[in-house]
């Protein structure tokens, strides 16, 4: 039996675009040469790397020389922050936020253990940062400010261009984890003061295991992986040629699909969200205005996320949850906790994240099936009964 | 993704005995909303003193729901004395096994059962197992860790976290848990029965979890109904030390004049029912 899969978990990872798969195939076949080789057979591969670099640069509004290929988003994040610290040894302070992906958050905690000072900026109930608070946090001895462009759980978009200016004014470098933003909202680095930016292939229809670090021309840089002279000595190790070719094509597709993402995909997301919000005790987590077009974090109070996911999974619907049972840590998502989402809602939060491959039928399937799943679990939940009683009691008095 | 067997899945998708027994002889609760899983168990005896009906209400993941449903099935036909002997292991075995990371769901079943039996016997509910709190995040005591370790033959910190949640939050108690295990199994190795002393005094200070639970209950019972009457609501956001963060929803939050009095009202209730030291602070939604 093969069930139709309705994939609404595109912030976790995406389907590799068929065009990307096709472009990669020759590099698993005839074109297996090493771009560093002196012979023509290997050397011809170098041209394909250059092409991929130019495509990624075009997507970001950058120059090809500013693009470094890495093994993933996490490597890009680590490289950027550690480079900023190593290139400015006198500065031992880092500013970031409480809602970063673990690729930055855990690194920040590790830097604290190593004796660096790290400020984790809070967010408000809507998931937004306070720019004044950020400005105050940046000091003369701040080496780097690292703030994600868009949040992977809620889709909330941070004002990174403004933050980059604040960092610049204090002489600090600015890095942004743009893993969730690239391909979903327009980015033009030439118009900003952002010094470094991370992106990851598998969030934009390229394979897992390839990423990019953008480093603005003139920004001090210390490599993280030391060895050969690849990537102009900025990231050693023989290039993952097929995947780099893949991410180049994915970048080209992302540019072409940006319009669709911000119109049709946004409309799908909004229709799903509006439909689900008709259920009682249901709320959206995060600022609905300042958000990626593809993401919806929605809480169904008094029920637990894993149970909801299992109900959806039986129907072939893929989504995520910020509940304790799914976070792998026994506590609910650090993002929702930082926002002050009450426990009743944090444990019952579900993230739906779309891509250009989603359709109206996908939204229909979820809308047709969500209410029975939630109602069933609420019937089992002791808190739902209590909440209902309280409401009835309140209305009656 | 958790790997659940077919029986667990069946008890999750189609659980028997959902609800609350009317005129129950015993009712017990375990877990809390803040912790992410909670269970209310109720049972009723027949004229022969056997459990005629047992029902559950559970907030939690699939294995928490399946464990609760399994427990109610196991209880039927048993006397209270027989029921008392059931442990989390029996629940897990009945279900054909649970993933290691989910064993705490079966432990929650055992806790609710013990609480329901205490309630049946007219004993005070234990707000917390006795002993010293080791894990502040989930309010787990050394006694509980020792008991569960012995019952289930657990030797590693990771196993303790899987079974009791202790150490699954901020992780600062990992060392303390390892010390308890080392001491426990050292005495065992020396051929003596491990010492599990049951101190009779209740913990004098409320743990964070106990406090949160009491706050939740007090808001639910004393505050929310009054607010709902005016079309408003209150949410308990977080507890930091003695600072209770709440936010107001609905029409209350738009009525600025009522804010000051409302804060005082909530604080008075919480001080009366939870702790004298609490300070209520409103966070803007
Ligand atoms: C915001 C953010 N940063 C970093 C990463 C890590 O990327 P990668 O999986 O390529 O290491 C992810 C993906 O999970 C992400 O969502």
pLDDT in tens, A317-334: 999 998 776 666 678 899
Q: What is the CA radius of gyration of chain B?
A: 21
If you average pLDDT over residues B31-59, what whole number do you get? 93
User: Is A18 an 8 Å CB contact of chain B?
Assistant: no
Using the Cβ of A382 and the Cβ atoms of chain B, whether some distance falls under 8 Å is answered with: yes
Please tell me the predicted confidence (pLDDT) of residue B262: 67
| Atom from ligand 1 closest to the CA of residue A74 | 11
Q: Is A323 in contact with B227 (Cβ distance < 8 A)? A: no
Give residue-wise pLDDT tens across range A240-282. 999 999 999 999 999 999 999 999 999 999 999 999 999 999 9
Of the candidates A325, A364, A367, A381, the residue annotated as catalytic is: A325
Q: Check CB contact under 8 Å for A393 and B228.
A: yes
Q: Which of A336, A382, A383 to mutate against chain B (most B CBs within 10 Å)?
A: A382
CATH of domain B6-120: 3.90.1010.10
Residues with CB under 6 A from ligand 1: A 72-74, 101, 103, 148, 152, 177, 179-180, 200, 202, 211
Residue with tokens 């209150």: B234
Contacts of B38 in chain A (CB under 8 A): 382-383
Q: Decide if B6-120 and B133-189 have a common fold.
A: no
Of the candidate ranges A176-180, A387-391, B141-145, the one whose mean pLDDT is the lowest:
A387-391
Residue nearest to atom 14 of ligand 1 (CA): A12
% of chain B at pLDDT higher than 70: 82
Residue A392 within any structural domain of the chain: no
Domain annotation covers residue A206 = yes
Contact A382 B58 (CB under 8 A): yes
CATH 1.10.10.1100 fits B133-189, yes or no: yes
Residue A394 lies in a domain: no
For the residues of A36-65, what is the DSSP string, one character each? Answer: T-SSHHHHHHHHHHHHHHHHHHHHHT--GG
Q: Domain boundary residue among A254, A274, A303?
A: A254
- Determine the pLDDT at residue B10: 95
Q: Is A110 on the interface with B (CB under 8 A)?
A: no
pLDDT band per the 50, 70, 90 thresholds, residue B267: confident
| CA distances (Å), origin B202, targets A84, B125, B129, B130, B199 | 53, 11, 8, 6, 8
Residue B57 has pLDDT above 60, yes or no: yes
Residues A311 and A236 in one domain: no
**Mean pLDDT over residues A157-173, rounded?**
98
Work out which ligand 1 atom sits closest to the CA atom of A72: 10
Where does the pLDDT of residue B282 fall: very low under 50, low under 70, confident under 90, or very high at 90 and above? Answer: confident
Rounded CA-CA distance A44/A35 in Å is 7
Least confident range of A189-193, A329-333, B138-142, B197-201 = B197-201
Are B2 and A385 an interchain contact pair (Cβ–Cβ within 8 Å)? no
- The arithmetic mean of pLDDT across residues B188-215, rounded, is 58
Share of residues in chain A with pLDDT > 90 (%)? 91
Q: Indicate if A238 and A316 belong to the same structural domain.
A: no
A153 and A289 co-located in one domain: no
A135 and A154 both lie in a single domain: yes
Instruction: Tell me the pLDDT of chain B averaged across its residues.
Output: 83
Q: What is the pLDDT of residue A331?
A: 81
A111 with A51, same domain: the answer is yes
CATH of the structural domain B208-282, one choice from 3.40.800.10, 3.30.300.130, 3.10.290.10, 3.40.640.10: 3.30.300.130
Residues of A in contact with B245 (CB under 8 A): 340
Residues A236 and A127 in one domain: yes
Select from A125, A344, A381 the Cβ nearest to the Cβ of B57: A381
User: CB of A372 within 8 Å of any CB in chain B?
Assistant: no
For residue A182, what is the DSSP state? B
Domain boundary among A206, A234, A254: A254
Residue listed under structure tokens 């942004």: A176
Interval A54-77 mean pLDDT: 98
Handedness of CA B175, B176, B180, B186 (dihedral sign): positive
pLDDT for position B171: 84
Verify that A288 and A184 share a domain, yes or no. no
The total of structural domains in chain A comes to 2
Which tens digit of pLDDT belongs to each residue from A22-63?
A: 999 999 999 999 999 999 999 899 999 999 999 999 999 999
Give A-chain residues touching B3 at CB under 8 angstroms: none
Question: Which one is predicted more confidently, B260 or A124?
Answer: A124
Both A205 and A292 in one domain: the answer is no
Whether residue A381 lies within 8 A of chain B, CB to CB, comes out as yes
Among the three residues A230, A254, A278, which one is the final residue of a domain in this structure?
A: A254
Same domain, A194 and A324: no
**Counting runs of H as helices and runs of E as strands, what totals does chain A give?**
15, 13
A40 within a domain of the structure (yes/no)? yes
Size of interface A-B (CB pairs under 8 A): 108
Q: Where do the structural domains in chain B lie, given as residue ranges?
A: 6-120, 133-189, 208-282
> Mean per-residue pLDDT for A87-108?
97
What's the sign of the alpha-carbon dihedral B92, B98, B100, B102?
negative
Statement to judge: residues A92 and A222 lie in one domain: yes
Active-site residue, B61 included: no
Q: What are phi and psi of A339, to 5 degrees?
A: -80, -10
Inter-chain CB proximity A307 and B61 less than 8 Å: yes
Which residues does residue B245 pair with via DSSP β-bridges, in sequence order? B238, B281
Can you give the pLDDT at residue A278? 97
Is A113's pLDDT higher than 50?
A: yes
Interchain CB contact of B65 with A (< 8 Å): yes
| Residues A241, A139 share a domain | yes
- What span, in angstroms and rounded, lies between the C-alpha atoms of B213 and B138? 11
> Which ipTM did the prediction report?
0.86
CATH number of the CATH domain containing A333:
3.90.1150.10
A396 assigned to some structural domain:
no
> What is this structure's pTM?
0.83
Structural domain of residue A99, as residue ranges? 18-254
Q: Are residues A238 and A278 in the same domain?
A: no
Q: According to the model, what pLDDT value does residue B197 have?
A: 43
The string of pLDDT tens digits covering residues B146-193 is 989 998 999 999 999 999 889 888 888 999 999 999 989 886 554 444
Does the beta-carbon distance from A330 to B161 stay under 8 Å? yes
pLDDT recorded at residue A91: 98
B80-124 per-position pLDDT tens digit: 999 999 999 999 999 999 998 889 889 999 999 999 999 999 987
DSSP-derived letter for residue A322 is: -
Q: What is the A103 CA–ligand 1 centroid distance (Å)?
A: 7
CB B273 within 8 A of CB B218: yes
Q: Quick: pLDDT tens for A281-325.
A: 999 999 999 999 999 999 999 999 999 999 999 999 999 998 776
Mutation to probe ligand 1, out of A101, A157, A213 (largest number of atoms < 8 A from CB): A101
* Whole-number Å distance between alpha carbons of A234 and A228: 9
């Amino acid at each position: 039996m093969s069930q139709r899969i309705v994939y609404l978990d595109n912030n976790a990872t995406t389907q590799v675009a068929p065009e990307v798969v096709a472009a990669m195939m020759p590099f698993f076949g005839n074109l297996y040469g090493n771009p560093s080789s002196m012979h023509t057979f290997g050397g011809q591969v170098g041209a394909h790397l250059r092409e991929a670099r130019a495509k990624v640069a075009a997507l970001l509004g950058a120059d090809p020389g500013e693009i470094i290929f890495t093994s993933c988003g996490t490597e890009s994040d680590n490289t950027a922050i550690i480079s900023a610290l190593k290139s400015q040894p006198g500065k031992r302070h880092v500013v970031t936020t409480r809602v970063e992906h673990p690729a930055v958050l855990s690194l920040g905690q590790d830097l604290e253990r190593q004796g660096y000072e790290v400020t984790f900026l809070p967010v408000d109930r809507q998931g937004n940062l306070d720019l004044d608070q950020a400005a105050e946090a940046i000091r003369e001895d701040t080496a780097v400010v690292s703030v994600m462009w868009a949040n992977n759980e809620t889709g909330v978009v941070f004002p990174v261009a403004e933050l980059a200016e604040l960092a610049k004014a204090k002489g600090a470098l600015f890095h942004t984890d743009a893993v969730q933003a690239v391909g979903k909202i327009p980015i033009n680095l030439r118009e900003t003061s952002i010094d470094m930016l991370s992106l990851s292939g598998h969030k934009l229809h390229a394979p897992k295991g390839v990423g990019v670090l953008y480093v603005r021309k003139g920004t001090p840089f210390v490599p993280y992986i030391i060895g050969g002279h690849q990537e102009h000595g900025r990231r050693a190790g023989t290039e993952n040629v097929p995947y780099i070719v893949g991410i180049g094509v994915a970048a080209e597709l992302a540019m072409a699909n940006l319009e669709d993402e911000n119109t049709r995909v946004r409309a799908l997301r909004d229709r799903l969200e509006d439909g689900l919000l008709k259920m009682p005790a249901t709320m959206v987590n995060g600022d609905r205005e300042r958000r990626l077009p593809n993401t919806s974090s929605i809480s169904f109070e008094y029920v637990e996320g894993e149970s909801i996911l299992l109900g959806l999974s039986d129907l072939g619907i893929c989504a995520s949850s910020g509940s304790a049972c799914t976070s792998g840590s026994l506590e609910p998502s650090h993002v929702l906790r930082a926002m002050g989402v009450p426990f009743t809602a944090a444990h019952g939060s579900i993230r739906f994240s779309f891509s250009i491959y989603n359709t109206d039928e996908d939204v229909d399937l979820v809308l047709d099936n969500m209410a029975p799943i939630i109602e069933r679990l609420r019937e089992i939940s002791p808190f739902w009964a209590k909440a209902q009683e309280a409401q009835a009691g309140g209305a009656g008095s | 993704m958790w790997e659940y067997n077919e029986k667990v899945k069946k008890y999750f998708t189609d659980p028997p005995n959902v609800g609350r027994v009317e005129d129950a002889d015993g009712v017990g609760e375990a877990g809390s909303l803040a912790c992410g899983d909670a269970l209310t168990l109720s049972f009723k005896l027949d004229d022969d003193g056997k459990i005629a009906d047992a029902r559950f209400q559970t907030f939690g993941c699939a294995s928490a729901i399946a464990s609760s449903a399994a427990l109610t099935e196991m209880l039927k036909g048993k006397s209270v004395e027989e029921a008392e002997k059931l442990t989390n292991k029996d629940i897990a075995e009945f279900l054909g096994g649970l993933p290691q990371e989910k064993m705490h769901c079966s432990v929650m079943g055992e806790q609710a059962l013990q609480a329901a039996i205490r309630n049946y016997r007219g004993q005070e509910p234990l707000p917390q197992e006795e002993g010293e709190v080791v894990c502040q995040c989930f309010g787990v005591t050394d006694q509980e860790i020792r008991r569960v370790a012995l019952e289930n033959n657990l030797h590693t910190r990771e196993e303790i976290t899987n079974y009791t949640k202790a150490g699954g939050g901020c992780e600062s108690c990992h060392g303390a848990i390892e010390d308890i295990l080392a001491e426990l199994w050292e005495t065992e190795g020396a051929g003596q029965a491990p010492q599990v002393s049951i101190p009779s005094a209740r913990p004098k200070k409320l743990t964070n979890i106990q406090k949160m639970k009491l706050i939740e209950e007090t808001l639910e019972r004393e505050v929310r109904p009054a607010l709902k009457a005016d079309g408003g609501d209150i949410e308990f956001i977080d507890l930091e030390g003695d600072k209770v963060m709440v936010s107001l929803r609905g029409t209350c939050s738009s009525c600025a004049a009522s804010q000051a009095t409302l804060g005082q009202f909530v604080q008075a209730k919480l001080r009366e029912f939870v702790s004298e030291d609490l300070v209520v602070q409103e966070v803007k939604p």
